[in-house]
Structure 1
Amino acid sequence: MPDTNFIPSQKDVDFFKTNGYWISPKIIDDERLERLRDRMERVYQGEFETGTAPDAVWRRETSRPNSLRKTDNANLADLTIRALAHDSQIGQIAAALKETNTIRFWEDQLLLKPAQSSGNAANVGWHQDYHYWGCFQNPETMITAWVAYDDVDEENGCMQMVPGSHYWGILNGNDFYEQNMQKQLQDMAPEGQIARTVPIIMKAGQISFHHSLTIHGSGPNVSDRVRRSSALHYLTAETRYRAGFADEYSEIKKFIAAGGVDGDIVQGEMFPVVYRK
């Protein structure tokens, strides 16, 4: 069990190493959760507190109302969401799980599955986060923290993990938007490996952490309850840039403009330090 400051124990770290994920106790209190839910809704309405829009934003006027809502880098638009993304306690937990001294913030997504959205492209297909992050050389240096804004279970489309899949390497078949998840997972698993899935059932305010190569996804929300969350992505101080892949990311553009070249350690104000031991 984690200590009184929610820092993972050695047993927790060993679990993360073996399985590629770990679930924290409730860390985000109810008052803060309510603020986050409110700010999420304001972003959807096009209200950007900082005056800067997210890199990509779900909007009522232009998006399918019952599909998965995915907004990239909402931290650029809203200070409450940015404070969560830069939270030093979350960074400290990530550092403990990765057994490193420094954690930098990389990017975030707001994610919402509307109630009763089954059949409306609201599944999240099986994928490894690193599939989308080839602009970094070393997948072992990346970790995601998934913050539950609501209670999540299989009925409202909780995340599912494939334990141990972070040892399978970089796989073919990654697709965040794939809806035929059963066939996709069969195709992704390497020969001789069985893709056993585990539902990540959480209370609002808990956070799940996973390795950048851990296969994960989520099924439909067939309940009358909304499912809201933030996915926060972090890097250790050992992360190095790989040129020519996903250079369109706004942070990577800034890194290159600041003189970053292939093989350089990823650093700078575009990748702020959220925790340093």
Structure 2
Amino acid sequence: MGTIQKQVNGACVPTQEDVDFFDRNGYWVSPVIFSEEELAAIKEHQDRIYRAEFETGRAPVCNWLEGADNPRALRKTDNSHWCDSVLRGVATNPTIGAIAGKLMHADTIRLWHDQLLYKPGRGTGRETANVGWHQDFSYWQCAQEPTLITAWVAFTDVDLTNGCMQMVPRSHQWGLLKMSDFFEQNMEKQQEAMDIPENEKFTTVPIIMKAGQVSFHHALTIHGSGANATEEARRSMAVHLMTGETRYKAGTRGDGHFNAGFMKGRDGELFDGEAFPVLYSAATSS
């Protein structure tokens, strides 16, 4: 137990019709990629992270800790793939990489970073554990262009009752808006203040998924999620990816992102090296 598939599952790769849907709407949902056995191992290793049991001896960038942090809060752990081989298997999964490559029309896909996520179930606390409306690229402006995509892996079934993601179709075509706040709890207020382009409409689509499915969204697609009103935790990992053409842009607000430090000021150069492992390469997949 604990091994993640290391071969591309061709049955999960999007068709041209799927790619056209992504191009129009900025998101797409895959078939089931991870088996029940794999998901059981993933969740077991996720819990180890919260107990600060790091298989590799390397800690993540940040981590919710059992007994130390608010049990009602949203748990967000950056770069769990540093800590654990099973979680690294999720973050570097070749099927996810191949899908991202096709959706982004890219020959190479690298890992940008991962976020291990745990949205607690209903309790007596006041926290809603919403995720506010945001565009991922607003936090990643150390990249010259929004040539990034997120693969959101559902470890449990997700729907509106437990705070599934909601996408705003076509919003990846609106450019970068001044509206992003991952931690904002008042999502209605956010929407009212949003300055969207003329002749566009803010509509939302709930991304309802079975455990083991993966949703993909462009770095400019507006998305967020509501509270978990069920008794069980909603578990997932956001695998943030970039094309092989993604270059570093120094001197932006994105320089505060921990990944910018790996570039050591190399303005205009490609993100590369061990910090950004390759999930997919057309040269080696053909």
What residue is the counterpart of 2:261 in the other structure? 253
Distance in 1 of aligned mates of 2:176 and 2:10: 36
Residue number among 13, 20, 27 corresponding to 1:21 in the alignment: 27
Gaps of 5+ in 2: 1-8
Shift in Å at residue 252 of structure 1?
2.5
- The DSSP-based 3-state class of the residue aligned with 1:230 is strand
What amino acid is aligned across from residue 5 of structure 1 in structure 2? A
Structure 1 residue 225: Cα displacement: 2.3
Q: Which moved more, 1:55-64 or 1:35-44?
A: 55-64
Q: 1:97 aligns with which of 95, 98, 103?
A: 103
Which of 223, 230, 240 does residue 223 from structure 1 map onto? Answer: 230
Letter in 2 for 1:87: N
Alignment TM-score, normalising by the size of structure 2: 0.91
Matched, 1:41 2:47: yes
Give me the identity figure in percent. Answer: 52
Matched to 1:275, the amino acid is Y
CA contact (8 A) 2:174 2:197 kept: no
TM-score normalized with structure 1 length:
0.94
Q: What code does the residue aligned with 1:143 have? A: I
Given the alignment of the two structures, is residue 71 of structure 1 paired with residue 60 of structure 2, yes or no? no
Q: Distance in 1 between matches of 2:81 and 2:15?
A: 30
TM-aligned CA deviation for residue 201 of structure 1: 0.2
Residue correspondence of structure 1 range 1-277 to structure 2 within 5 A: 4-116=10-122, 119-139=126-146, 141-192=147-198, 193-245=200-252, 246-256=254-264, 261-277=266-282
Quote the Cα distance in structure 1 between the aligned partners of 2:169 and 2:197: 16
Contact 1:104–1:237 under 8 Å retained in 2: yes
3-state secondary structure, aligned to 1:26: coil
Q: Which amino acid aligns with 1:235?
A: M
User: Is the 1:255–1:268 Cα contact (8 Å) retained in structure 2?
Assistant: no
**Offset of residue 248 of structure 1:** 4.2
Which shifted more, 71-80 or 197-206? 71-80
Shift of 1:269: 1.7
Q: Give the CA deviation at 1:222.
A: 0.8
How many residues are matched?
Answer: 271
Q: Given the superposition, is the C-alpha separation of residues 113 and 261 from structure 1 closer, same or farther in structure 2, using an over 3 Å criterion? A: same
**Structure 1 equivalent of residue 6 of structure 2:** none
